[in-house]
Structure 1
Amino acid sequence: MAKTRLENLKLGIFVVLGTALLVVAAYLIGNRQNMFGKTIPITAIFKNANGLQNGNNVRFSGINVGTVNKIEMINDTTIRVHMIIEEKMQNHIKKDAVATIGSDGLVGSMLINIVPGEGKATHIGPGDELQSFSRVATQDMLNTLNQTNENAALLTEDLLKVTRSLTQGKGTFGRLLNDSLMAKELHQTITNLKHTSNEANIMIAEINQMVKQLDFDNSTAGVLLKDSITGDKMKNVISHLENSSMEIEKMTKDLNSVIGDIKTGKGAINYLAKDTILVGQLETSIENVTEGVKNFNEVTEALKHNFLTRRYFKKKEKEQKKELEKIDE
């Protein structure tokens, strides 16, 4: 009998303690989920929930001010998140605040962070919708890092190939690194280019100095540079000189052709120059002609003194004198 009462007492104490613990736990959970305090509902739209679940915390400036009440799928790119926050925070959160999805630590549960706005907007009210900003998810970051690592591996492989080619003396840069003679030639070429550049600079400076010293008003160069009429005349002179040069060239060709014919034995000139017999015959003929003229003059003089032809020659002399007198008058 006594044993039964002791057992009932223990059972009663256990039930009372269990009920008290259950009430306290329910209160704590309800208080954490804002089930017993005054709250207001607000919403935000995201493109990706990033693992957000019902009951996750809502933080404002690092302080837990509410929880996620509902996640609604609008379409494949739009997700509306319903939140409930403490009513007392209504006077601190403005309508230009921005809601973002983050994580509680590196590997903690997801939550919503509300970042205060910088403008002078009014405070939020029940049912208002906050602006949202979708941050890069951890998985996306890992995918990007993976792709970056792959690209880095490919780049490293290409750099290794280039380095091997350079050390083996392949290509222009490889030859420059390994061939000392080519390096010296390249150095000499660069030195020559520098020397040429310096010479060109000196020449340009001298030309500038000469141009500065020109008297454009009185010198011939100045007249040629400034007077368009003189320039046209110079063009005509140059054109005539070109024409004369062409004519002289043509004449030279003709003379060369004639001289060529003479050298090859063509024409009378070459025949007279080389045939000695013909030259002797020409000399004999000239002597005979001279002798014939001399005899003709003697016959003419004899006829002048002959009584039969004397009158004819005197008549001719008178006519010649009259003609000379007329010419003198």
Structure 2
Amino acid sequence: MRNDNKKNVIVGIFVFIGIAILVAGVLTLGGQQKKFVKSIRLKAVFDDVAGLQPGNNVWFSGVKIGNVRRINFYGDSQVEIEMNIESKTKEFIRKDSKATISSDGLIGNKIIVLYGGTSAAGVIEDGDRLMTEMPLDTEQMMVTLQENNQNLVSITNDLKTLTGKIAAGEGIIGSTLMDTTIAESFKTMLLNFESSSRTANQMLVELNRFSKELNKEGNLIHDLTTDDALYVGLKETMASFQSTAGQLERMTESLNAITEKLQQSDNTAGLLLNDEETAATMKSLVNKLDESATSLNAGLDALEYTWPFRRGFKRKAKAEEAASPK
């Protein structure tokens, strides 16, 4: 009898432990599936769910807020997703939010990700259908990666060929890199550039020294820039020069007017300079005066030998001979 009671106690303990484990499992699974949390239902329509299954999680801003309740066909070839979302999170999700399909990790289970939304749109309500955005197709990504790999291999082969030609000294770059003459010329050019830099630095030092000398007291440049009296005198001199320049300009204008008058024939000087007939008359008059002077000189020479003036000229000749030194 006592053994039977002992067995019953042991069986009862195991039954109790089994029930506790069952209840704990139910509560755990229910917590993971949000079965015991107050929720609302949202919908989204996709062209392709990419292996999404009921029970998969729904995430918003990196936080799990629900799960996929049901997957139904919709329209001709689309799929409608029903999601259970925790009611306490609905104030953060807007009616213009979007839903997309992603993966829990690189190769993990498929999940629904909610994102976006603006404060201008209202808060979601039970039964709302969200806008969707198709995720990147993994197969397309693999095809693109394969094409990129092939392109990379082709680029690598081209680079290998190019570097081989450069190493062989082919082409402009190859000859530039491999030709020692060009290298020596480039080295010489760098040396010349270094020498020019030193010369330029020396010139800058000399210019700096020269500028310091110019700024010393007693120097003309220093006096011109600092002496107020010298500045006033220079200003007055410049004003005098300006006045003289004005007078010269007026004199030039007067000379130009006189020149213009001389080029005209309505005045005596202009008539003498520009009229050919007047010039010919003046030339004839000068010739006649020259001839008259020649005749007068001849007459005066002949006058010396005439009887009334002969004695006077003899007396003059004797006086000049007596006055001349012997």
* TM-score normalized by the length of structure 1: 0.49
* TM-score normalized by the length of structure 2: 0.49
